[in-house]
Chains A and B, each alone.
Chain A
Amino acid sequence: MPGPQYHADPEAAVKSVALDGLSLIFHAPSGMTHIVAPPAPEILAALRLGPAEVGELIARLSAWYDFEGDAAADAIEARLAELESAGLVRRA
């Protein structure tokens, strides 16, 4: 059974500034500012291509970055859950 589809707000709703290895994200719909570390900005960028379930998201990220194994996939799932609780990612 396929998992839930995740999606992120379009680029126009989210202003991101890279500072000092971290990213500051202003999320216009909530008015909140978030300070996030990699790979959170990369996950958001991958989801802007369109809604995706976890497997598809990992496939998109693998096309951009070198990573291997279940540990990386686990880390991405964990970051995805954090982004969802922060309101930056939602289930479609």
Chain B
Amino acid sequence: MRHSLSLQIGPVAFRIGSAWRAPLDALAALYAGYPTPADGICDFTVRLEPDKPWRRLIRPSVAIRGDYVLPDAAPLSLAHGLLAAEMGMNLQMALGQKTYLLLHAASVEKDGRALILTGESGAGKSTLAALLGERGWRLMGDEFALLDMDNGLLLPFPRAISLKNGAIGVMEAEAAPERFGPRLIGTPKGDIRHLRPNADALARMGEGAKPALILFPRFGEAPAVRSVGAAEVFMRLTQASTNYVTLGRRGFDALTRLIATNPALAIDYPDTATAIGLIEDFRQELAA
């Protein structure tokens, strides 16, 4: 590849290669302060290539490729090259991660106790995790939670937080402007702006935490909290895991242990202030 960049994010090392310089410059600015892989060896490679060879200069369109490829991964315009790089990293993790049980979930930690927030797209897990990360919690990740199958610890994967539409304004009021990437307008997911996690999240990206609570947040409803039965939690987490089936017995053992040892709650919330209040209440109950 003409241009490349290596990044360490938690326990995972990525190499991103690109036919163009611009997406990598944007990525390097967004990921300022992240370590480079210590041994130079990368777990995953993402390649941003012209959709057709002659398209590098003429109406450039970025195709996402890598070690693992989805046949229908749609090309994006070069203006969205940063998004292509991010999506490529997610794709490699989702399809190729075999060391950890991967849950499509956000996670935050305080006082050594980690919360797992999972739910469908639009449930608000990214926004809640980003807000908690600015309010005394450590952001471990907004997209993927990695469960160490040997010891049951949750490992951080603090890539840039992908803020969509309304969440962009919420976080612009919370974090310094230099931590944001460019606002990407009109992407397939609407407007997107990436936010670099804060210095504490980066400094502690090698530090796992013991899970303490599994939350299923749902935005836009009247406030409500209900306990979720273990079998339902299991079903929802297998659906939220991209590699559960691949991992076989190890994944089964790790997931059943996670569920047997942690309470799970579904929370409905009409606004983020209510959700944060509920989560702080849970934290105090866990500490008591």
Residues of A within 8 A of B (CB): 15, 17, 19-22, 24, 26, 28, 31, 33, 35
- Does chain A have a CB within 8 A of B238? yes
Q: Which residue of A lies closest to B228 (CB)?
A: A20
- Decide: B230 and A19 in contact? CB cutoff 8 A: yes
Point out the residue from A17, A28, A31 that lies within 8 Å of B260, measured CB to CB.
A17
A-B contact pairs, 18 of them (CB 8 A): A15-B249, A15-B252, A17-B252, A17-B256, A17-B260, A19-B231, A19-B259, A19-B260, A20-B230, A20-B232, A22-B230, A22-B231, A24-B231, A24-B252, A26-B248, A26-B253, A28-B249, A31-B245
- Decide: B252 and A20 in contact? CB cutoff 8 A: no
- Does chain A have a CB within 8 A of B288? no
Beyond A19-B259, A26-B252, A33-B252, list 13 extra A-B contacts (CB 8 Å).
A15-B249, A19-B230, A19-B231, A19-B234, A19-B256, A19-B260, A21-B231, A31-B245, A31-B248, A33-B238, A33-B244, A35-B234, A35-B235
Query: Shortest 7 CB-CB distances between A and B: which pairs?
Result: A19-B230, A20-B230, A26-B252, A22-B231, A17-B256, A20-B229, A20-B231
* Cα–Cα distance between A21 and B230 once the two chains are bound (Å): 9
* Cα–Cα distance between A19 and B232 once the two chains are bound (Å): 10
Point out the residue from A21, A24, A31 that lies within 8 Å of B234, measured CB to CB.
A24
* Cα–Cα distance between A20 and B231 once the two chains are bound (Å): 6
The interface size of chain B toward A, counting residues with CB under 8 Å, comes to 16
- List A contacts of B256 (CB < 8 A): 17, 19, 24
* Cα–Cα distance between A35 and B231 once the two chains are bound (Å): 8
Of B231, B245, B260, most A-chain CB atoms within 10 Å: B231
- List A contacts of B235 (CB < 8 A): 35
Chain B 217-261 interface 0/1 with A at a Cβ cutoff of 8 Å (1 = within): 000000000000111101100100000110011001100100110
The B190-234 residues at the A interface (CB cut-off 8 A) are 229-232, 234
* Cα–Cα distance between A35 and B255 once the two chains are bound (Å): 14
* Cα–Cα distance between A24 and B229 once the two chains are bound (Å): 13
* Cα–Cα distance between A28 and B229 once the two chains are bound (Å): 25
Q: Which residue of B lies closest to A32 (CB)?
A: B245
Closest-CB distance, B149 to chain A (whole angstroms): 13
* Cα–Cα distance between A17 and B244 once the two chains are bound (Å): 16
Closest-CB distance, B255 to chain A (whole angstroms): 9
Closest-CB distance, A11 to chain B (whole angstroms): 14
Q: Which residue of B lies closest to A19 (CB)?
A: B230
Q: Which residue of B lies closest to A35 (CB)?
A: B231
Q: Which residue of A lies closest to B257 (CB)?
A: A17
- List B contacts of A35 (CB < 8 A): 231, 234-235
Closest-CB distance, A18 to chain B (whole angstroms): 9
* Cα–Cα distance between A26 and B249 once the two chains are bound (Å): 7
* Cα–Cα distance between A22 and B231 once the two chains are bound (Å): 7
* Cα–Cα distance between A55 and B259 once the two chains are bound (Å): 38
Closest-CB distance, B262 to chain A (whole angstroms): 12
* Cα–Cα distance between A15 and B235 once the two chains are bound (Å): 17
- List B contacts of A21 (CB < 8 A): 231
* Cα–Cα distance between A20 and B259 once the two chains are bound (Å): 11
- Decide: B253 and A15 in contact? CB cutoff 8 A: yes
The B34-60 residues at the A interface (CB cut-off 8 A) are none
- List A contacts of B259 (CB < 8 A): 19
* Cα–Cα distance between A66 and B232 once the two chains are bound (Å): 29
Q: Which residue of B lies closest to A31 (CB)?
A: B248
Chain B 102-138 interface 0/1 with A at a Cβ cutoff of 8 Å (1 = within): 0000000000000000000000000000000000000
